[in-house]
């Protein structure tokens, strides 16, 4: 007997063959099938008399087949089914290409419904490849709002709709996880009603109310998960880091630049968070070049001065090494031992003895003395190599105050003596499992407690029993308000929306094919004046990495040979080893090259102050936020800088790219990108796992606020959710699939 839990492979009309394809869409049971929602509808609900049809109209007609024939065109080797349908007002022609089975079904005298767009040729009005079904059948593919579903090879929306005709009755067996009082308060349908409305809406209003119900459900679960995570996080204990105002004043006074007001405010918020006995969980969100690293350095200095360790984690080795170099410069002469740990790099810097008198904290001094007696450490300079075993040993003993690295920091075997602050840069670029793991509370990780996810065991052993490290996340992708509300409710937010003083606006221009040579001439003049240039190519799909490499290699050869034969050009791409990338970047920084031809590996974290021109090929293939990230690789010094967007000449791509010419602020760009590309594509939020139906409504501020209010009210009334077992179960399922930032 069939039920919601019946495997689709056990249903005769589906069987193992179709079940394999359905599995690709995460559909294995009848319940999964019912919860596979359409992403749009074709409106075939308007039934029109044949005599009233007009070219360009989308309509449904119903009548009788008067003539049907199959035509073979030898020239194009195509089979054409031509059918004439008549109602009380007239006759219309319908044509299908390479669908010979249609002529077998639509024989003379059969009653039929046709739905589609009306076209016109020399013979008059006709339907081209219309949807059709016999008029004796209940409307499924014609004559109604017809749902269009996410598909995969071997499965069409039409097939899915036919199966749903037989499975929709099981909607009545579904148990609703949303409390009845909430549904009544919002005038939303029950789960079973909403399932029927979304698959078989009688009108647009039913489809809309069903979408609203499911969008609310997903947003409500997201807010519940977010608020519970925040409550759980705030119950953890952390070490308190006193705010040493004099130490910070000395650090800021020694900087070769002035902090912006936004940097001062963010640093103050972070330093005050560190004073609390509960762990900080803050996101530092700033535009490209707004100075997040120096704010993180202030937090690290405060923690290290109190005698504890700090870890900074970046998504790539290039970015990790960039942080290593920057922080080594910012914290030099502070008697702070800094290390770089990635799969390719094991380096130490700033081991300087005897101990200076800069730090006065006794915990700090005592640990230094112990380290000095434990290890025979020489004074070191930037870039000194060390074995992985020795580095891990020194981290464990506490000899290293600041460790910078990639996900290598959470690999098994890395243990800290007293880790009190974790900084994660560009968190959304880590894998979902890595991000989820990093934000587990101390009760499930660290201190010889391990977490098993996806069959792998990772440890971040902080060495502080019953304490959770403070957490600071950083992102250079400015986040639109609604995304911040939806995805970052469990985090406190600091925003750097102010650029350093005297920073010149990067002049940005869309370049047509006719202007290319003129742009190359300008590039040559800038290089003559001592500047350097980036030329970027689009990142392609993983399966096309070789073609990406080929395109970049060919373009490097073309530019070297035909355009700039007298200049020095380097080539950087993702298939190079880390040390090869590092060598090229270092040589470029040392002005050994005039132009760096690169794939999109330079998007984040590359700092070449002398570079003043960014050229982006096929700019229309990038999102605006990514283009803004590329643009931020130049304009990092006092030189006037430029960004040239080489793009196809389509009106659509040009209108979109105009935002780059119009806006200098990353926050303005982010809002525009969010509107144009939608939330599903914005900085990879598809990784979140949030269903499409919720993604489509994530711009709805009112919906997010309502969901947040109901989540707060529900948790206040029943924190454990034991009163709502169905909601609790649904939330557990939701949290397995959805990752909070």
- Chain CA centroid to CA 582, Å: 26
CA distance 422 to 239: 13
Give the orientation angle of helix 317-330 with respect to helix 578-589, to 10 degrees: 50
E strand intervals along 74-148:
78-86, 91-97, 111-121, 124-128, 131-134, 145-148
CA distance 453 to 434: 9
CA distance 197 to 204: 10
CA atoms within 13 A on the CB side of 338: 27
Peptide bond preceding 42: is omega within 30 degrees of 0, i.e. cis? no
Domain positions in the chain are 1-40+144-174, 46-143, 263-275+290-446+465-475, 507-664
Please check whether residue 209 is in contact with residue 197, taking contact to mean a CB–CB distance below 8 angstroms. yes
Secondary-structure class of domain 263-275+290-446+465-475 per CATH: alpha beta
Q: What is the 3-state secondary structure (H, E, C) of 440-503?
A: CCHHHCECCECEEECCEEECCECCCCCCCCEEEEEECCCCCHHHHHHHCCCCEEEEECCCCCCC
The backbone torsions φ and ψ at residue 147, rounded to the nearest 5 degrees and listed phi first, read: -70, 140
| Tokens 């036919």 found at | 162
Same CATH topology for 263-275+290-446+465-475 and 507-664: the answer is yes
What tokens were used for 611? 């570079």
CA atoms within 13 A on the CB side of 41: 23
The tens digit of pLDDT for each residue in 418-467 reads 999 999 987 655 554 554 455 454 444 444 333 332 322 234 567 788 88
Q: Annotate 340-379 with b (16+ C-beta within 10 A) or e (fewer).
A: bbbebbbbbbbbbeeeeeebeeeebeebbeebeeeeeeee
Residues of the chain with pLDDT under 50: 351-361, 368-380, 432, 435-436, 439, 441-459, 540-544, 683, 685-687
Element (H, E) at 33: helix 30-34
Q: 507-664 architecture in CATH?
A: 3-Layer(aba) Sandwich (3.40)
Task: Provide DSSP, 371-403.
Answer: HHHH--PPP--TTEE--HHHHHHHHHHT--SEE
Rounded (10°) CA dihedral 422, 427, 432, 434? -30
- Give the domain 46-143 fold: OB fold (Dihydrolipoamide Acetyltransferase, E2P) (2.40.50)
Rounded (10°) CA dihedral 390, 392, 395, 396? -110
For the chain, the 3-state helix, strand and coil shares in percent, each to the nearest 5, are 45, 20, 35
CA distance 274 to 255: 22
Q: Annotate 83-114 with b (16+ C-beta within 10 A) or e (fewer).
A: bbbebeeebbbbbbeeeeebbebbeeeeebbb
What pLDDT sits at residue 130? 94
CA distance 675 to 539: 22
What pLDDT sits at residue 695? 65
Please check whether residue 601 is in contact with residue 581, taking contact to mean a CB–CB distance below 8 angstroms. yes
Give the orientation angle of helix 317-330 with respect to helix 292-305, to 10 degrees: 60
CA distance 98 to 19: 27
CA distance 698 to 680: 9
Contacts of 512 (CB under 8 A, 6+ apart): 649
Burial class (CB in 10 A: 0-12, 13-18, 19+), 136: exposed
Give the orientation angle of helix 701-717 with respect to helix 204-234, to 10 degrees: 50
The tens digit of pLDDT for each residue in 323-382 reads 998 899 899 888 899 999 988 777 777 544 433 333 444 555 555 444 444 444 444 455
The SS3 of residue 223 is helix
CA distance 564 to 741: 45
Task: Provide DSSP, 127-155.
Answer: EES-EEEETTSPPSSSSSEEEE---BTTB
Angle made by CA atoms 534, 535, 539, in degrees to the nearest 5: 120
CA distance 31 to 733: 14
Please check whether residue 520 is in contact with residue 514, taking contact to mean a CB–CB distance below 8 angstroms. no
The tens digit of pLDDT for each residue in 276-311 reads 999 999 999 888 778 899 999 999 999 999 999 999
CA distance 670 to 558: 34
What pLDDT sits at residue 384? 64
CA distance 259 to 498: 10
Please check whether residue 496 is in contact with residue 592, taking contact to mean a CB–CB distance below 8 angstroms. no
Please check whether residue 203 is in contact with residue 691, taking contact to mean a CB–CB distance below 8 angstroms. no
Burial class (CB in 10 A: 0-12, 13-18, 19+), 670: buried
CA distance 328 to 326: 5
CA distance 601 to 478: 19
Beta bridge partners of 127: 94, 118
- Looking at the whole model, is its pTM more than 0.85? no
């Amino acid at each position: 007997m069939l039920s919601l839990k019946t495997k689709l492979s056990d249903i005769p009309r589906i069987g193992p063959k179709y079940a394999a394809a359905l599995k690709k869409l995460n559909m294995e049971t009848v319940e999964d099938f019912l919860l596979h929602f359409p992403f749009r509808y074709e409106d075939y609900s308007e039934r029109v008399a044949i005599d009233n049809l007009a070219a360009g109209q989308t309509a449904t007609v119903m009548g009788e087949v008067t003539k049907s024939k199959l035509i073979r065109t030898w020239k194009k080797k195509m089979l054409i089914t031509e059918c004439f349908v008549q109602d009380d007002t007239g006759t219309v022609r319908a044509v299908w290409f390479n669908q010979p089975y249609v002529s077998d079904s639509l024989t003379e005298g059969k009653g039929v419904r046709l739905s589609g767009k009306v076209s016109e040729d020399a013979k008059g009005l006709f339907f081209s490849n219309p949807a059709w079904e016999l008029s004796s059948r209940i409307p499924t593919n014609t004559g109604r709002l017809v749902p269009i579903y996410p598909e995969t090879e071997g499965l069409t929306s039409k097939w899915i709709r036919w199966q749903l005709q037989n499975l929709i009755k099981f909607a009545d067996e579904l148990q609703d996880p949303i409390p009845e009082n909430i549904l009544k308060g919002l005038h939303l349908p029950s789960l079973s009603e909403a399932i029927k409305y979304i698959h078989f809406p009688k009108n647009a209003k039913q489809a809309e109310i069903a979408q609203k119900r499911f969008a609310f459900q997903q947003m409500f679960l997201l807010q519940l998960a977010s608020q519970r995570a925040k409550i759980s996080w705030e119950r953890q204990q952390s070490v308190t880091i006193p705010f040493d105002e004099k130490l910070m004043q000395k650090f800021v006074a020694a900087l070769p630049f002035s902090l912006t007001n936004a940097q001062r405010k963010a640093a103050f918020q972070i330093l005050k968070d560190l004073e609390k006995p509960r762990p900080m969980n803050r996101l530092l969100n700033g535009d490209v070049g707004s100075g997040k690293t120096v704010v993180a350095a202030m937090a690290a200095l405060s923690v290290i001065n109190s005698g504890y360790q700090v870890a900074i984690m970046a998504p790539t080795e290039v970015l990790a090494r960039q942080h290593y170099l920057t922080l080594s410069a910012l914290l030099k002469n502070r008697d702070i031992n800094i290390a770089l740990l990635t799969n390719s790099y094991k380096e130490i810097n700033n081991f300087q003895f005897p101990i200076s008198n800069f730090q006065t904290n006794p915990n700090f001094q005592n640990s230094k003395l112990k380290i000095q007696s434990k290890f025979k450490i020489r004074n070191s300079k930037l870039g000194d190599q060390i074995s992985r075993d020795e580095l891990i040993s020194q981290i464990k003993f506490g000899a290293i105050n600041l460790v910078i690295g990639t996900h290598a920091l959470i690999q098994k075997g890395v243990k800290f003596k007293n880790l009190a602050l974790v900084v994660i840069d560009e968190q959304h670029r880590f894998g979902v499992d890595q991000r989820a793991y990093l934000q587990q509370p101390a009760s499930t990780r660290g201190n010889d407690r391990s977490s098993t996810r996806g069959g792998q065991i990772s440890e971040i052993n902080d060495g502080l029993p019953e304490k959770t490290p403070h957490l600071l996340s950083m992102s250079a992708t400015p986040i639109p308000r609604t995304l911040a509300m939806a995805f970052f409710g469990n985090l406190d937010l600091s925003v750097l929306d102010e650029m350093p003083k005297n920073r010149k606006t990067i002049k940005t221009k869309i370049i047509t094919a006719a202007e290319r040579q003129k742009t190359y001439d300008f590039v040559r003049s800038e290089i003559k004046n001592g500047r350097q240039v980036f030329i970027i190519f689009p990142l392609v799909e993983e399966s096309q990495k070789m073609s990406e490499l080929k395109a970049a290699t060919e373009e490097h050869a073309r530019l070297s040979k035909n355009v700039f034969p007298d200049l020095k050009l380097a080539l950087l791409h993702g298939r190079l080893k880390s040390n090869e990338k590092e060598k090229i970047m270092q040589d470029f920084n040392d002005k050994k090259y005039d132009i760096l031809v690169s794939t999109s590996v330079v998007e984040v974290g590359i700092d070449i102050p002398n570079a003043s021109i960014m050229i982006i090929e096929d700019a229309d293939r990038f999102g605006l936020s990514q283009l803004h990230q590329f643009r931020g690789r130049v304009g990092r010094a006092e030189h006037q800088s430029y960004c040239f967007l080489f793009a196809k000449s389509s009106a659509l791509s040009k209108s979109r790219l105009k935002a780059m010419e119009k806006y200098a602020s990353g926050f303005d760009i982010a809002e525009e990108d969010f509107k144009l590309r939608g939330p599903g594509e914005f900085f990879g939020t598809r990784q979140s796992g949030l269903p499409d139906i919720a993604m489509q409504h994530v711009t709805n501020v009112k919906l997010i606020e309502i969901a947040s209010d109901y989540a707060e009210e529900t948790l206040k009334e029943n924190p454990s959710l034991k009163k709502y077992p169905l909601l609790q179960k649904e939330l557990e399922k939701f949290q397995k699939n959805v990752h909070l930032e």
